[in-house]
Amino acid sequence: MEDSCYEENRCIKKTLEKILEAQRKAKKKKGESCQTSCLAPLGELGNHYSNNTIPFILYCDCDPFKVEGVTTCRDKNSKSETFVCFITFVFRIIDIKDDCAVLELLKFKNHQKCNSKGKPICSPCSQLNCENTDDLMATGVCVNVDLSGFHAIQCLPAVCL
């Protein structure tokens, strides 16, 4: 009999593999209309954009998984670059190998400013609530994770990034 943690890991890994496959197909077949869901091909977002990403939230036990990402921001006045930290609960799958995955951190455009003013992000709902789906953006910041540490996945509606 297999360990229940192992079974959960396989379930999440299979879901992520299906998401990755759907995202790769969407990039190859832009413009085709399909249904969207966690396990179905990606479809049309509007007249001139195709969905290419299924964002998701991962859970460790009962807690949502969050990552503090670091990127740079160019100051308009001094034209110098500064480090900018951000917190996210929302990810996109980039690659899977064995039981490890590369996840890209996603955030909303209004959180990319070079200052720390604004609402705190302390839960997935505080990050997502009332945000425009068109404002979700790729950051280029990735993390490598061991899939054995996750117990649940929640897929969000497909978007175009």
Tell me if 97 is assigned to some domain. yes
Let me know: does 147 contact 13? Beta carbons within 8 Å. yes
Angstrom CA distances, 41 to 7, 52, 105, stand at 25, 9, 22
Burial letters for 126-144: b for 16+ Cβ neighbours within 10 Å, e otherwise? ebbeeeeeeebeebebbee
Residue 101 resides in a domain: yes
In a domain, 43, yes or no: yes
Q: What is the mean pLDDT of the chain?
A: 79
Give domain status of residue 128, yes or no: yes
Domains: count for the chain: 1
Predicted confidence (pLDDT) per residue in 94-105, tens digit: 999 999 999 999
Contacts of 107 (CB under 8 A, 6+ apart): 69, 86, 88, 90, 127, 136, 137, 139
Q: What is the pLDDT of residue 9?
A: 55
Kindly state the greatest CA–CA separation across the chain.
63
In 3-state terms the chain splits into helix, strand, coil percentages (rounded to 5) of: 25, 35, 40
The reply to whether 27 falls in a domain is yes
Residue 145 has pLDDT above 50, yes or no: yes
Model confidence at 127: pLDDT above 50: yes
Report pLDDT for 109: 86
Does residue 160 form part of some domain? no
Does the pLDDT value for residue 112 go beyond 50? no
Can you give the pLDDT at residue 41?
Answer: 42
Stretch 68-97: mean pLDDT: 89
Mean pLDDT of 116-126: 74
For residue 49, being part of any structural domain is answered with: yes
Query: Residue 105: inside a domain, yes or no?
Result: yes
Please state which of the ranges 9-23, 27-41, 81-95, 135-149 shows the lowest mean pLDDT: 27-41
pTM value?
Answer: 0.76
Picking from 148, 149, 57, 52, the residue whose alpha carbon sits closest to that of residue 106 is: 57
Q: What is the span of the domain harbouring residue 24?
A: 4-155
